[in-house]
Structure 1
């Protein structure tokens, strides 16, 4: 606004524009602290497991794994307490994705975290990880709650698992995974799955999201087992065996016990 501008007709930044500028400044500060520590670059496949249900498929689908690095990002809180305002972004606890390699020497790098990354950080996460790791193909495994789902079926009665692919993945899709239904229109993805699909689309890299629909926030054994089977199908691995299903049941039981323990203090 110039000194001679009419205060009635002059253009002022809207509240949304000001909020976007503030958010961009915070993201810029946050990006300087982003750290990717990986011992393996350019794997054949990058598999991203985000959220409780997805992370619980790890042992069933792959068996033993070795940690080879991590993706560490500071937690970025949009609603800040007075303490967080005083400490600033640098002092917030980090959000860690663990990087793993299967013991069977497959050309897969796995990035897993049981806590979903806040949606406003997903784009930078996707851009950084895809650029640094440079995979030939990417699979993202995640879940949504039934209230976010728009399509046929009932998550309380059926294991609902869908795929969402970018253009390159559709072109390259193998026959054994074509029977997995596509995510119904009207069901929207956010966070890392959406961000990774977009980054890979822009870079002409194949990317597929596998999405499970959960009837409750705590994962169920049958759904996690079915999701692990879907991961194996897309990666060309053997489906989960009896030992794998036992591992899933034990892992899910651990989540239930943890949830019950935490609820005692609510």
Structure 2
């Protein structure tokens, strides 16, 4: 199935895209219309170029793959956030963000606000401050094409829900440097489900919880009955699969088969 990675978002409207999980490593882009456009060689354009050229630097990293930077003065000030998946090594993180700084302006030419998601990192820029602001849209959803056996669907998604709720609590309590958690749990017929959740770390515990609750709300419509799914949002994300898709050495926790 072909994937259109450039997304145009009309005013006060978000669009959600559903793709199969095998395409999750490709980039997905949201170009935001209602924050305005810039012209080539304008002050905003120059500020954006300067900001993107300096963002993926170790001096802008909080030590856990979170980058936050602004450049210029109002009304042409540009703000950016870069976030790497919590299990990503620093060199892979910076390489992913560096690639994003070239790809995103090409995918969203002249847009003042845009978001790009890779499997290992996310990049956002905007003419407004993004730091500490909870946003659930635009978002992108993927799901696996394989279905859970029909006779265990209810039990299976009880385990998925309990796993993700547990991870949400752990990630939200992670402090201001990193809000990230992974673990696995056993589903019926000895199936193993691996889960991952993450929020941008500057969010409060309450905001991270609320963001992930909103994200989980999409599961019945997009991923219910599927053995894998994920949502990528500006402030938080989740993923579950029946295969190990993250670096298990970062958080090798195994949750009990019967979750509360």
**Same structural fold, with TM-score higher than 0.5 when normalized by the shorter chain:** no
Structure having the higher helix fraction is: 1
Structure having the higher strand fraction is: 2
Q: What is the TM-score when the length of structure 2 is the normalising length?
A: 0.28
User: Greater Rg, structure 1 or structure 2?
Assistant: 1
